[in-house]
Structure 1
């Protein structure tokens, strides 16, 4: 039997929301493989891991900046929310997004760029800020998208000031139609993305391993059925999955009676030209980053798992 530690149980619990004893059982059944344990719990109906928004959030800010046909989004992390409210920190995050507009969309390029008003690089300016404020900070990630014609709409959720907040979204719409109308529908779609966190634009954009994983779960849940029946169940299940996780097939939050693709098609009449949703980016602050938990919770997990942390 695999040696299941309390930290492994905690990780699985954070990912799935399943009970601690169920998590321990799943890990024992899968030899300590956390990802396999996630699937085991889902097969048993004990988890909805695929719909979880992410792990415990780190602190900091997401900054967005747009120049119309080009837009960037940057996540800058801090140790505490107190620092995220600091004027110097906010000014740095906002400036980093502006600098990224002139770069190639990579973190390395942004960190090496010159910070305005000084001879320092962006990375050196951040180190200077760390020394001044006394708390560790990092630029975690950056993205840049462009369109040759049309607009890139932006949206910031839980904004602390213009262009800064906890969730940032960029949506690229390609069209030769009315820019004002295009911007309005683009902002609505950006709000939709913030709310639903789609995995890809359409089914073709999904990771093949993710699709295969969903197929395997469907097959195992329906094991024993005739092959031709099982095939139809898998096909139907994947269609439902695509509607849940791909942007164009999701029900539009502004009007759930239609999909996002249908809403875009209807918008073309107002825009005056065809509209193509080319790309989107969504950054949620701290997704995938774990923060330290209180000691009493660690002890609770250890007690339930029968292992030392």
Structure 2
């Protein structure tokens, strides 16, 4: 049997996208023959799944699972909206959300280790990658609890769950729809992170001072600017999605409802998508062919 060298491991890694230990093991089992190792990995599906793992998965779906007074939102990513609507992808994402809720976990590593029909979630994910041919990732999960909750999914890309005191099914769902549409950063001003508010205040203050107005007027301009910012970006200050003539705060007061908490997930938030340059891709392919 040929000795498995670091150079051989590196070549197998470059050709399959697998980790160092997986490549070393595959080479040992293949007697040091790289081509045999690749064939074995292809037969097991590992090489294909590993290669796909390097592809950016910024599409996908938000799944909402609810049981009693607890709800879980799960984001599962893929590469294209076509796959996001695939029945196999939907079945996998829905089942994983149910498992995460039943096992009371939002930790992605813990979710990946859960039992999925006799295999782990991670093993089921790899099998789905092999079948569909796209990178698929369980990205994140959030849990919210409450005696009165409403949920709303906008298509498959945005999911919201809201918890209230005093709300009924109709108003809770309407509030969830509002949050999906307006994406507030907090329920009210008290919930806005201090660093966000300070940064906004600095911007408003700089613009106000450029006006050349007296200090007392500048101070009022800053106060007015902050009020306007909070109205636009907090739930209670926004115009209600079902009646733009009223603010959410007015509707809540009239209905005797208090929003306790909410969670909103949108597919691909924070993922840097790869910009495709088709002309450059064709040129590169032609250059490779000419070598």
Q: Which residue of 2 aligns with 1:106?
A: 107
Paired position in structure 2 for 1:152: 149
4+ residue segments displaced more than 4 Å:
296-299
Name the CA distance, whole Å, in 2 between partners of 1:250 and 1:141. Answer: 28
From 273, 278, 286, the equivalent of 1:291 is 273
TM normalised by structure 1 equals 0.67
Q: Counterpart of 1:250?
A: 238
* Distance in 2, Cα, partners of 1:297 & 1:287: 28
SS in 1 for 2:168: helix
Corresponding position of 1:126: 125
Pairs within 5 Å for 1:40-55: none
**In 2, distance between residues paired with 1:280 and 1:174?**
12
Matched-pair contact (CA < 8 Å) for 2:65–2:97:
yes
User: Is 2:154 aligned against 1:168?
Assistant: no
1:171 aligned counterpart, secondary structure: strand
Q: How does 1:1-309 map to 2 (within 5 A)?
A: 58-102=58-102, 103-115=104-116, 117-118=117-118, 120-147=119-146, 149=147, 151-158=148-155, 165-175=156-166, 182-223=168-209, 224-268=212-256, 275-295=257-277
Within 1, Cα distance between the matches of 2:239 and 2:279?
38
In structure 2, distance between residues paired with 1:76 and 1:237: 38
Deviations 1:68-125 (A, max 9, x none): 411111111001122112211100111122122221333233223222x22x222222
Q: Is the 8 A contact 1:79 1:137 kept in 2?
A: yes
Q: Deviations over 1:151-194 (max 9, x none)?
A: 22110112xxxxxx11111111134xxxxx71110000011011
Contact 1:156 1:168 in 2 (8 A): yes
Distance 1:298 1:210, change over 3 A: farther
8 Å CA contact retained: 1:66, 1:154: no
Tell me the distance in 2 between the aligned counterparts of 1:202 and 1:297. Answer: 48
Partner Cα distance (1:255, 1:187) in 2: 15
Q: CA RMSD in A?
A: 2.2
What secondary structure does 2:99 align onto?
A: helix
Are the structure 2 counterparts of residues 262 and 297 from structure 1 closer, same or farther at C-alpha, using a change threshold of 3 Å? farther
* Residue segments in structure 2 that go unaligned for 5+ positions in a row: 1-56, 282-291
Contact 1:153 1:172 in 2 (8 A): yes
Aligned length: 223
- Corresponding residue number in structure 2 for 1:7: none
* Alpha-carbon distance in 2 for matches of 1:210, 1:278: 21
Structure ranking higher on relative contact order (CA contacts 8 Å, 6+ apart) = 1
